[in-house]
Amino acid sequence: MKKYGAEFVGTFWLVLGGCGSAVLAAAFPDVGIGLLGVAFAFGLTVLTMAFAIGHISGCHLNPAVSIGLWAGGRFPAKELLPYIVAQVLGGVVAGGVLYLIATGKAGFDVSAGFASNGYGAHSPGGYSLQAALITEVVMTMMFLLIIMGATDKRAPQGFAPIAIGLGLTLIHLISIPVTNTSVNPARSTGVALYVGGWATSQLWLFWVAPIIGGVLGAAIYRFIASDNT
């Protein structure tokens, strides 16, 4: 239960910190942090939690990561469902806290997006479903490659949180204009439920694509690393 609690808290921080920066600070008048700031916010949530709870639960914070690590032989199947439930609950609770904060400002409109992921008319840059699918698969694939490589016993020890956090930052720098960057079904669910409508109707993509990408990334890493194990 301590591991599941750690995943709940870690995912809570990821959604509150990452989506909170997008909702509250990205376009704040005159001194907004912009896309660069949001990208770093997501990376910093993972970096800080990896140091804080990595030794407790492994700091997955993401169903696609848990499934990818299972596919890569790094995580037991029996713990998949409890981890995913804890992650999604953490994301949804964080979304609720963020909603309570954001609605404290007059004129706030949750239907404007609330940092939800989307494609087509709901893509920040107007990108198509195909573009969004490819982006989410490839970005999550690379994320799993980074995670598995950085946590390999042959990698330099103690630096994995930095590599993983910066990797997620780079992923956001690339893909925020396309989908608002998911690569994490719990992150997507945590805010989409409060928007409803288009956000929940498009949510399927941000479960399917990251999971496919996570499994692909794990398979590729196992292939390229197998000769040296």
Q: Can you tell me the mean pLDDT for 126-152?
A: 97
Collapsed DSSP state (helix, strand, coil) of residue 131: helix
Q: Is the pLDDT of residue 36 over 50?
A: yes
Q: Can you tell me the mean pLDDT for 87-106?
A: 96
Q: Is the pLDDT of residue 29 over 60?
A: yes
Q: Can you tell me the mean pLDDT for 30-52?
A: 92
Torsion of CA 125, 129, 131, 132, to 10 degrees: 80
CB neighbour burial string for 26-64, b if at least 16 within 10 angstroms, e if fewer: beeeeeebebeebbbbbbbbbbbbbeebbeebbbbbbbb
pLDDT at 32: 80
30 against 162, higher pLDDT: 162
Q: What is the pLDDT of residues 178-189, one digit of tens each?
A: 999 999 999 999
pLDDT at 226: 82
Q: Supply the CATH classification number for the domain 2-228.
A: 1.20.1080.10
pLDDT at 228: 54
Q: Is residue 220 within 8 Å of 145, Cβ to Cβ? A: yes
Write down the residue that tokens 């990561």 correspond to: 65
Q: State the amino acid at position 193 in one-letter form.
A: L
Q: How confident is the model at residue 57 (pLDDT cuts 50, 70, 90)?
A: very high
List phi, psi (to 5°) of 119. -135, 170
Q: What single DSSP character describes residue 22?
A: I
Identify which of 92, 88, 70, 95 has the alpha carbon closest to the alpha carbon of residue 7.
88
pLDDT at 27: 78
Q: State the amino acid at position 222 in one-letter form.
A: R
Write the CB contacts of 58 (distance below 8 Å, at least 6 apart in sequence). Answer: 3, 69, 75
Q: How confident is the model at residue 30 (pLDDT cuts 50, 70, 90)?
A: confident
Q: Which of 21-35, 87-101, 112-126 has the lowest mean pLDDT?
A: 21-35
The structure's pTM equals 0.93
Could you write out the DSSP letters of every residue in 54-71? HHHH----SHHHHHHHHH
**Rounded Cα gap, residues 127 and 200, in angstroms:** 18
Q: Can you tell me the mean pLDDT for 55-75?
A: 95
**Rounded Cα gap, residues 204 and 222, in angstroms:** 28
Q: What angle do CA 165, 39, 93 make, to 5 degrees?
A: 80
**Rounded Cα gap, residues 68 and 120, in angstroms:** 27
Q: Is the pLDDT of residue 229 over 60?
A: no
The mean pLDDT value of the chain amounts to 94
